[in-house]
Structure 1
Amino acid sequence: MINRMVWNQTAYFGPGAITAIPNELRRRSFTKAFVVTDPVLIETGVAQKVLSLLDDEAFPYVVFSDIKPNPPIENVLAGLAAFDEAKADVLIAIGGGSPQDTCKAIGIIANNREFSDVRSLEGTAATTNPSVPIIAIPTTAGTASETTINYVITDTENKRKFVCVDPHDIPILAIVDPEMMASAPRGLKVSTGLDALTHAIEGYITAGAFDLSDMFHIKAIQMIATALPSAADGDPEAADQMAMAQYIAGMGYSNVGLGLVHGMSHPLGAFFNAPHGLANGILLAAVLEYNAPNSGEKYRAIGEAFGVDGARTLPIEEVREQTVAAIRDFAIKLGNPTSISAIGATEADIPSLAEAAYADVCTGGNPRKTNPEEIAAIYRSLL
């Protein structure tokens, strides 16, 4: 079997990493930036940390901040029109998954105009040209969009989220600076951290996993299990660990795929505008329980990271059971919701949610083959 790995050309890590941006802009001979961020990051001054660096260098830029959570097609089209008007030659994405994903879609369509409808980018679209160059600066420790070939857009008209997978969209430069993440509220740190954990666990057990991706995912699981609770409470060293862990998870899952947690999470975002990581946190333990019979020995490493006694020696059935319990307890102690009813789902929604989850591109990577009826049963168990 042939396996492919695609990563950034260049990445900077650690407190103060954003100071590398001006030199990189000069080194690459860019002349004007189109900055994609969101209103909250403008209001809180987080985006200004980067904009001030550009101001100090008198580097021209235009800011586009009309970004909504779970970014809809309309955001992409508005951003594309603004990008065309700006006549910039580099994109700078500042934010969590919503600005990052919007930026990727803008960059891809700008150089592949035949995909201007946006919907045709779903799945593995046959784009021919690389995106407009992107410098990606995450402000949450979760999505790892700065190192992945994936992005997710919401089709509000049809109440669905669709995943785009395209090596042409990967940022040329990632700036992973934990100081850009420090001011996020605790709830956001929890939900994005659970997103990173889900990436790591699903990437580890997905059907496409192999030795190299396993290396990244095991390390990310270990780091997140240790760091997330303290990072959520503001510990700077733990926050630095989370910034690195989510990037490491991204290096893996971007190349091997995910699974049913993400497949079921996307419809919850599309139907109820639920934050993606929060939805993942609700679903993760239940889907791990469902996948347990098809997980081989892999729950041993996951269980060990979460303190399951005897994870390497107990019968695998016991390890799987205790690992699921440990993951469920981890999310509860962090304060994540435990039911889909908490985000507005009802029994009447389940058939439509299940059909959408079954059709999601991430579901195809799940280690256990599934169907809408079994997916509906998982949703129903979480009401």
Structure 2
Amino acid sequence: MNVGISNFRTPQSILFGRGAFEKIGEEATCRGKNALIVSDKVMERLGYVNKCVDRLAVHGVRTKVYLGVDSEPTDHHVAEALELIKQEKCDLLISLGGGSCIDTAKAVSVLAANGGRINDYAGAWGKFAIKPPIPHIAVPTTAGTGSEATDVTVITIVSTDVKLMVKQPAFMPTAAIVDPLLTISSPKHITAATGVDALSHAVEAYLSKKANPMSDTLALSAMKHIAANLYQAYNDGENLVAREAMSLGALQAGMAFSNASVCLVHGMSRPIGALFHVPHGYSNAMLLPAVLEFSKNHCVDRLADLGRFFAPDKRELSNEALAYFAVESVKGLCDVLNIPNLKGWGIDRGKFAASISKMAQDALDSGSPANNPIEPTKHEIEDLYRICYDYDFSVKKHAY
């Protein structure tokens, strides 16, 4: 762990708790008067978009709505929303939905103020946002990505099938409103995928070579909340205690990985999403157990901490045994949450095999694998992709 100086970033304001969404008008009115809501058709159908419009109107905030985002944000979504914010001269962005809506709004907030395309801001030599972004209030409706509290946006460039991760302070939302009541509408499969996504954020932040004392505190708390409550939230979507714990865990995991970085799982998952259109939460879940098995011997003590959260009654076990138990518990959790492997998702074996070399190189180019406890070679990443295609999540006995 790096115990040197660390710069810890979060939104200026975080409203957390049941009913926090009711405060959207009050939070918005001090940020702007003409808002663009970035959301999707599902949020509109659930009534969340109209509720947001109504709450803003009560406080004198005018609104325009963009509903073009779907399961994975692309540069096309960004361009469409950017054109709308310019046409309507909006001075405030509100993202309402999952990570795709939030990531799209992050890109728009920066580009509207600084110009260019999202591609221009990627990489070590990318453009740096100088002008303050358009104020952005992020309202997540899933307990997963933690994007409401990160300075990262992930956008797929359609022309190249590359999932671009861009990280700069300007992409951090101005404010986050995290209301667990909004997650009750999440169906079981979304609860499962986003929940394992949040777990992967917490675990990778804790295992990252860039981890620091602040990120560790949040990552440990997030792992504890998620390990104890994800299956309960999945099994009983009306369980408000579990939903609230998952929302808190996802938020904490987002803050943790934004300040400590992610590792090999995320490096490998982005190419799968870009080439085969697998939602980010699922692609992380499909990879997490196998990557933990690959990394285990190089992070035994830290994986043992995860094992203790899955089995608080097994503290007498050695760290080696607890690390093994942690990996098996993650496998078992994915199994009972009905996470499919890549074959089960329906990805053609031949097309997947033909893409492995490109995916491995794209993963390395992202920089995330370099943060892993053991940095993999391209050949090792290729082997992991092959393992994950047919991966068996089953274990002899589940703890759930």
- Asked if Structure 1 and Structure 2 have the same fold, meaning a TM-score greater than 0.5 normalized by the shorter chain, the answer is yes
Contact 1:282 1:339 in 2 (8 A): yes
2:377 counterpart of 1:371: yes
Question: Structure 1: how far apart are the matches of 2:388 and 2:344?
Answer: 8
Task: Look up the match of 2:324.
Answer: 321
Q: How far, CA to CA, are the matches of 2:117 and 2:142 in structure 1?
A: 29
How far residue 25 of structure 1 moved from its aligned partner, in angstroms, is 2.6
| Alignment partner, residue 333 of structure 1 | 336
What is the DSSP-based 3-state SS (H/G/I as helix, E as strand, rest coil) of the residue aligned with 2:265?
A: helix
Which residue does the alignment assign to 1:23?
Answer: 26
Residue segments in structure 2 that go unaligned for 5+ positions in a row: 390-400
Residue pair 1:272, 1:343 contacting (<8 A) in 2 also: no
* Structure 2 partner of 1:245: 249
4+ long deviations beyond 4 Å: none
- 1:69 is paired with a residue of what secondary structure? coil
Q: What value does the CA root-mean-square deviation take over the aligned residues?
A: 1.6
Deviation at 1:65, TM superposition (A): 1.0
- In structure 2, do the counterparts of structure 1 residues 209 and 179 end up closer, same or farther at CA, with 3 Å as the change threshold? same
- Residue 256 of structure 1 corresponds to 260
Q: List per-residue Cα deviations over 1:131-162 (Å, max 9, x = no partner).
A: 11001100110111111000100012111101
TM-score for the superposition, normalised by structure 2? 0.91
**Distance in 2 separating the partners of 1:23 and 1:355:** 46
Give the whole-Å Cα distance in 2 for the aligned partners of 1:25 and 1:276.
29
Could you tell me whether the CA contact under 8 Å between 1:76 and 1:106 is conserved in 2?
Answer: yes
Return closer, same or farther for 1:179/1:308 CA change in 2, 3 Å cut-off.
closer
Q: Give, in angstroms, the shift of residue 78 of structure 1.
A: 1.1
Report the Cα offset of residue 130 of structure 1. 2.4
Structure 2 equivalent of residue 206 of structure 1: 208
Cα–Cα, structure 1 residues 345 and 208, in superposed 2: closer, same or farther, change >3 Å?
farther
Counterpart contact for 1:154–1:270, Cα < 8 Å? yes
Q: Is the 8 A contact 1:308 1:319 kept in 2?
A: no
**1:102: which partner in 2?**
104
Which residue does 1:276 correspond to in 2?
280
Aligned residues: 379
Structure-2 change in CA distance of 1:215 and 1:361 (3 Å): same
Q: Structure 2 CA distance, aligned partners of 1:123 and 1:193?
A: 29
Contact 1:198–1:284, Cα closer than 8 Å, also in 2: yes
Cα distance in 2 between the residues matched to 1:308 and 1:21: 39
Counting only pairs closer than 5 Å after superposition, residues 1-383 of structure 1 correspond to structure 2 as 1-28=4-31, 30-113=32-115, 116-123=116-123, 125=126, 126-232=128-234, 233-234=236-237, 235-307=239-311, 310=314, 312-340=315-343, 342-346=345-349, 347-383=353-389
Q: Is the 8 A contact 1:282 1:340 kept in 2?
A: no
CA contact 2:151–2:172 (8 Å) conserved in 1: yes
Query: 2: distance between equivalents of 1:13 and 1:319?
Result: 33
Cα distance, 1:345 vs structure 2:
4.9
Q: Note the residue ranges of structure 1 that are not aligned, 5 or more in a row.
A: none
Letter in 1 for 2:226: I
Counterpart AA for 1:351: S
Q: CA deviation at 1:296?
A: 4.4
Q: Post-superposition shift, 1:309?
A: 5.8
Q: CA deviation at 1:343?
A: 4.2
CA distance in structure 1 between the partners assigned to 2:13 and 2:292 by the alignment: 34
C-alpha displacement at 1:58, in angstroms?
A: 4.2
Moved more, 126-135 or 216-225: 126-135
- CA deviations 1:273-318 (Å, max 9, x no partner) are 10111111111010011111221410111001111764x5434333
Deviation digits for residues 48-98 of structure 1 (CA, Å, limit 9, x no counterpart): 221221233342111011112211111111111111001111111101111
